[in-house]
Amino acid sequence: MSARAEAPALDRREVAASILARRGDALVVAGLGAPCFDTAAAGDHALNFYVWGAMGSAAMIGLGLALAQPRRRVIVITGDGELLMGLGSLATIGVQRPDNLALVVMDNEHYGETGMQAAHTGLGVDLALMAKGAGFAAADIIRTREQLHDWVPRIVGAAGPLLADFKVTTDRGSPALPPRDGPVLRYRFRQALLGDQVALE
């Protein structure tokens, strides 16, 4: 395999923290593995839904949420491996075109939780191009901090659907485990979003 012209250089925790510092009242879905930990490291929040399993699901959870809450921003933070498992969801989202949905991909070009095996994203597969082909309003590969700073306001506010694929290093950051009990996570999310009465009905 030939050496890459540009090795991923962004810090995933800095990417997550930069976006989530500007989240406002956004609803956040975090995909399994490191994206859950990145999201938790930026500060736990009742409107974070951490998906500890169901690999491939994060983007579609985001679509259901975005259609149910069209006035709220929905930010999905996922990994390249997870999005590769659910590529069809790009087509499904592209057809629905929710303008309040942004997909943030922490793309380290590897399966980081299972031994750092190479992922397709490091071998020529471009998720941003795929999102554009599926009809996303905008999508890009992001390699520098300057680009990160340009993209943060778009992720939290520009018309979607958007896909921002951040090329991050394989550094996983310090441990940051969010809550993991499913009924607790879904209850507190619904309580924060919909209120006590709806959450308990």
95 is a contact residue toward other proteins (CB under 8 A)? yes
Q: Least distance to other proteins from the beta carbon of 44, Å?
A: 17
Task: Please tell me the distance from the alpha carbon of residue 122 to that of residue 112, in angstroms, as a whole number.
Answer: 13
Which C-beta is closer to other proteins: that of 7 or that of 46? 46
Which C-beta is closer to other proteins: that of 146 or that of 181? 181
- The Cα angle at residue 153 between residues 122 and 144, in degrees rounded to 5: 35
Give, as ranges, the residues between 124 and 183 that touch other proteins (CB under 8 A). Answer: 182-183
84 is a contact residue toward other proteins (CB under 8 A)? no
Q: Least distance to other proteins from the beta carbon of 58, Å?
A: 8
Task: Please tell me the distance from the alpha carbon of residue 81 to that of residue 141, in angstroms, as a whole number.
Answer: 16
* Binding track, positions 39-78, relative to other proteins; x by CB under 8 A: ----------x-x-xxxxxxxxxxxxxxxxx---------
Which C-beta is closer to other proteins: that of 20 or that of 59? 59
Instruction: Tally Cβ neighbours within 10 Å of residue 64.
Output: 12
Q: What is the dihedral of CA 169, 84, 71, 145, to 10 degrees?
A: 20
- Picking from 109, 133, 150, the residue whose alpha carbon sits closest to that of residue 18 is 150
Q: Least distance to other proteins from the beta carbon of 11, Å?
A: 29
Supply the Cα-derived Rg of the chain in whole angstroms.
16
What HEC string does 108-136 produce? CCEECCCCCEECHHHCCCCHHHHHHHCCC
Which C-beta is closer to other proteins: that of 69 or that of 169? 69
Q: Least distance to other proteins from the beta carbon of 167, Å?
A: 26
Which C-beta is closer to other proteins: that of 91 or that of 152? 91
Query: Residue 17 in 3-state DSSP?
Result: helix
Which C-beta is closer to other proteins: that of 69 or that of 147? 69
| Cβ neighbours of residue 4 closer than 8 Å, sequence gap 6 or more | 122
Binding interface with other proteins (CB under 8 A): 27, 29, 49, 51, 53-69, 86, 88-89, 91-92, 95-96, 182-183, 185-186, 189-190, 193-194, 198
